[in-house]
A and B are shown apart, each in its own frame.
Chain A
Amino acid sequence: MKGILKKIAQINFGLMSPEDIRKMSVTKIVTPDTYDEDGYPIEAGLMDPRLGVIDPGLKCRSCGSKGGDCQGHFGHISIARPVIHVGFADTIHKILRSTCKECARVLLTEAEIIDYKDRIKNMIKNEESITGIIKEVYTAARREKCPHCDEEQEDIKIDKPVSIVEGNYKLTPSEVRERLEKIPEEDHLLLGVNPKVAKPEWMVLTVLPVPPVTVRPSITLETGERSEDDLTHKLVDILRINQRLKENMEAGAPQLIVEDLWELLQYHVTTYFDNEASGVPPARHRSGRPLKTLAQRLKGKEGRFRSNLSGKRVNFSARTVISPDPNISINEVGVPEMIAKEVTVPIYVTPWNIEEMKKFINNGPKVHPGANYVERPDGRKVRVYPETKDAIIEKLEPGFRVERHLIDGDIVLFNRQPSLHRMSMMAHEVKVLPYKTFRLNLCVCPPYNADFDGDEMNMHVFQTEESRAEAKSLMRVQEHILSPRFGGPIIGGIHDHISGAYLLTREGSIFEEDEVFQILKHAKMDLPKPKGKPWTGKEIFSLLLPEDMNMVYRAEICGKCDECLKQECKNDAYVVIEDGQLKSGVIDDKAFGSFAGKILDSVVKEYGTDKAREFLDSATKLAISGIMKKGFTTSTDDEEIPQEAKERIEELLSKAEARVEILIEAYENEELEALPGRSLEETLEMKIMQVLGEARDKSGEIAEKYFDINKNHAVVMALTGARGSMLNLTQIAACVGQQSVRGGRIDRGYNERTLPHFKKGELGAKARGFVHSSYKTGLDPLEFFFHAMGGREGLVDTAIRTAQSGYMQRRLVNALQDLSVKPDGTVRDNRGVIIQTMYGEDKVDPAKSDYGKVADIDRVIEEIRIKSGK
Chain B
Amino acid sequence: MKKDILKHRLVPEHTILSKSEIKKIIKELDIHPEQLPKIKQDDPVCKAIEAKSGDILKITRKSHTAGKFVTYRLVLD
Do A and B share a complex? yes
CB-based contact B66/A842 at 8 Å = yes
Mind listing 22 A-B residue pairs with CB under 8 Å? A2-B32, A3-B34, A4-B34, A4-B35, A824-B30, A826-B29, A828-B35, A831-B35, A832-B31, A833-B37, A834-B31, A834-B35, A834-B36, A834-B37, A835-B37, A837-B70, A837-B72, A838-B66, A840-B65, A840-B66, A841-B63, A842-B63
Q: Which of these, A3, A834, A840, contacts B29 with CB under 8 Å? A: A834
Q: Which B residues touch A2, using CB under 8 A?
A: 30-32
- Chain A interface secondary structure, helix, strand, loop or mixed? loop
CB-based contact A832/B35 at 8 Å = yes
Interface 1/0s, chain B 49-77, versus A by CB < 8 A? 00000000000000111100111100000
CB-based contact A833/B35 at 8 Å = yes
Q: Which of these, A824, A826, A828, A842, contacts B65 with CB under 8 Å? A: A842
Q: Does A836 interact with chain B (Cβ within 8 Å)?
A: yes
Q: Which A residues touch B69, using CB under 8 A?
A: 838, 841-842
Q: Which A residues touch B32, using CB under 8 A?
A: 2-4
CB-based contact A836/B71 at 8 Å = yes
Q: Does A114 interact with chain B (Cβ within 8 Å)?
A: no
CB-based contact B65/A837 at 8 Å = no
Sample of 8 further A-B pairs with CB below 8 A, known A826-B29, A837-B29: A832-B35, A833-B37, A834-B29, A834-B35, A835-B37, A841-B63, A841-B64, A842-B69
**Which residues of A (1-57) have their CB < 8 Å from a CB of B?**
2-4
Q: Does A803 interact with chain B (Cβ within 8 Å)?
A: no
Q: Which A residues touch B65, using CB under 8 A?
A: 840-842, 844
Task: Give CA–CA (A840, B30) in the complex, Å.
Answer: 20
Task: Give CA–CA (A828, B30) in the complex, Å.
Answer: 12
Task: Give CA–CA (A831, B36) in the complex, Å.
Answer: 11
Q: Which A residues touch B29, using CB under 8 A?
A: 824, 826, 834, 837
**Which residues of A (833-864) have their CB < 8 Å from a CB of B?**
833-838, 840-842, 844
Chain B min CB distance to A4 (Å):
6
Task: Give CA–CA (A837, B35) in the complex, Å.
Answer: 11
Number of interface residues of B (CB under 8 A): 16
Chain A min CB distance to B22 (Å):
14
Task: Give CA–CA (A834, B64) in the complex, Å.
Answer: 20
Task: Give CA–CA (A838, B37) in the complex, Å.
Answer: 13
CB-based contact A841/B66 at 8 Å = yes
Residue among B29, B31, B32, B63 facing the most chain A CB atoms (10 A cut-off) = B31
**Which residues of A (804-842) have their CB < 8 Å from a CB of B?**
824, 826, 828, 831-838, 840-842
Q: Which A residues touch B36, using CB under 8 A?
A: 833-834
Chain B min CB distance to A845 (Å):
12
Q: Which residues of A contact B (CB under 8 A)?
A: 2-4, 824, 826, 828, 831-838, 840-842, 844
Chain B min CB distance to A606 (Å):
23
Task: Give CA–CA (A842, B63) in the complex, Å.
Answer: 9
Q: Which A residues touch B35, using CB under 8 A?
A: 3-4, 828, 831-834
Q: Which A residues touch B63, using CB under 8 A?
A: 841-842
Task: Give CA–CA (A523, B30) in the complex, Å.
Answer: 55
Residue among A828, A835, A842, A844 facing the most chain B CB atoms (10 A cut-off) = A842
Looking across the interface, which residue of chain B has its beta carbon closest to that of A843?
Answer: B66
Chain B min CB distance to A204 (Å):
43
Task: Give CA–CA (A3, B29) in the complex, Å.
Answer: 12
Looking across the interface, which residue of chain B has its beta carbon closest to that of A831?
Answer: B35
Task: Give CA–CA (A831, B34) in the complex, Å.
Answer: 11
Q: Which B residues touch A842, using CB under 8 A?
A: 63, 65-66, 69
Q: Which B residues touch A840, using CB under 8 A?
A: 65-66
Chain A min CB distance to B32 (Å):
4
Q: Which A residues touch B71, using CB under 8 A?
A: 836-838
Q: Which B residues touch A833, using CB under 8 A?
A: 34-37
Looking across the interface, which residue of chain B has its beta carbon closest to that of A853?
Answer: B65
Task: Give CA–CA (A831, B29) in the complex, Å.
Answer: 15
Task: Give CA–CA (A558, B40) in the complex, Å.
Answer: 55
Task: Give CA–CA (A833, B36) in the complex, Å.
Answer: 6
Q: Which A residues touch B31, using CB under 8 A?
A: 2, 832, 834
Task: Give CA–CA (A535, B65) in the complex, Å.
Answer: 47
Task: Give CA–CA (A837, B37) in the complex, Å.
Answer: 9
Task: Give CA–CA (A835, B66) in the complex, Å.
Answer: 17
Task: Give CA–CA (A842, B35) in the complex, Å.
Answer: 21
Task: Give CA–CA (A336, B46) in the complex, Å.
Answer: 65
Residue among B64, B66, B72 facing the most chain A CB atoms (10 A cut-off) = B66
Q: Which B residues touch A834, using CB under 8 A?
A: 29, 31, 35-37
Q: Which B residues touch A3, using CB under 8 A?
A: 32, 34-35
Task: Give CA–CA (A822, B69) in the complex, Å.
Answer: 18
In the complex, the 6 A-B pairs of residues with the closest C-beta atoms, listed nearest first: A842-B66, A3-B32, A842-B65, A841-B69, A841-B63, A841-B66
Looking across the interface, which residue of chain B has its beta carbon closest to that of A832?
Answer: B35
Task: Give CA–CA (A52, B71) in the complex, Å.
Answer: 57
Chain A min CB distance to B41 (Å):
13
Chain A min CB distance to B49 (Å):
20
Chain B min CB distance to A848 (Å):
14
Q: Which B residues touch A837, using CB under 8 A?
A: 29, 70-72
Residue among A4, A828, A831, A838 facing the most chain B CB atoms (10 A cut-off) = A838
Interface 1/0s, chain B 7-44, versus A by CB < 8 A? 00000000000000000000001111011110000000
Q: Which B residues touch A831, using CB under 8 A?
A: 35
Task: Give CA–CA (A2, B69) in the complex, Å.
Answer: 25
Chain A min CB distance to B35 (Å):
5
Task: Give CA–CA (A835, B37) in the complex, Å.
Answer: 6
Task: Give CA–CA (A422, B60) in the complex, Å.
Answer: 33
Task: Give CA–CA (A428, B64) in the complex, Å.
Answer: 37
Task: Give CA–CA (A841, B71) in the complex, Å.
Answer: 9
Q: Which A residues touch B70, using CB under 8 A?
A: 837
Looking across the interface, which residue of chain A has its beta carbon closest to that of B65?
Answer: A842
Task: Give CA–CA (A836, B73) in the complex, Å.
Answer: 10
Task: Give CA–CA (A371, B64) in the complex, Å.
Answer: 56
Looking across the interface, which residue of chain A has its beta carbon closest to that of B61?
Answer: A841
Task: Give CA–CA (A832, B31) in the complex, Å.
Answer: 8
Task: Give CA–CA (A226, B35) in the complex, Å.
Answer: 56
Task: Give CA–CA (A834, B29) in the complex, Å.
Answer: 9
Looking across the interface, which residue of chain B has its beta carbon closest to that of A844?
Answer: B65
Q: Which A residues touch B37, using CB under 8 A?
A: 833-835
Looking across the interface, which residue of chain B has its beta carbon closest to that of A849?
Answer: B65
Residue among A4, A824, A826, A841 facing the most chain B CB atoms (10 A cut-off) = A841
Task: Give CA–CA (A832, B65) in the complex, Å.
Answer: 24
Task: Give CA–CA (A688, B10) in the complex, Å.
Answer: 43
Task: Give CA–CA (A837, B65) in the complex, Å.
Answer: 14
Looking across the interface, which residue of chain A has its beta carbon closest to that of B37?
Answer: A834
Task: Give CA–CA (A4, B35) in the complex, Å.
Answer: 8
Looking across the interface, which residue of chain A has its beta carbon closest to that of B26?
Answer: A2
Task: Give CA–CA (A835, B71) in the complex, Å.
Answer: 10
Looking across the interface, which residue of chain B has its beta carbon closest to that of A846?
Answer: B65
Task: Give CA–CA (A3, B69) in the complex, Å.
Answer: 25
Looking across the interface, which residue of chain B has its beta carbon closest to that of A828?
Answer: B35
Chain A min CB distance to B71 (Å):
5
Q: Which B residues touch A4, using CB under 8 A?
A: 32, 34-35
Chain B min CB distance to A827 (Å):
11
Chain A min CB distance to B64 (Å):
8
Q: Which A residues touch B64, using CB under 8 A?
A: 841
Chain B min CB distance to A667 (Å):
45
Q: Which A residues touch B72, using CB under 8 A?
A: 837
Q: Which B residues touch A844, using CB under 8 A?
A: 65
Task: Give CA–CA (A834, B30) in the complex, Å.
Answer: 11
Q: Which B residues touch A836, using CB under 8 A?
A: 71
Task: Give CA–CA (A841, B63) in the complex, Å.
Answer: 7
Looking across the interface, which residue of chain B has its beta carbon closest to that of A2?
Answer: B32
Looking across the interface, which residue of chain A has its beta carbon closest to that of B38?
Answer: A833
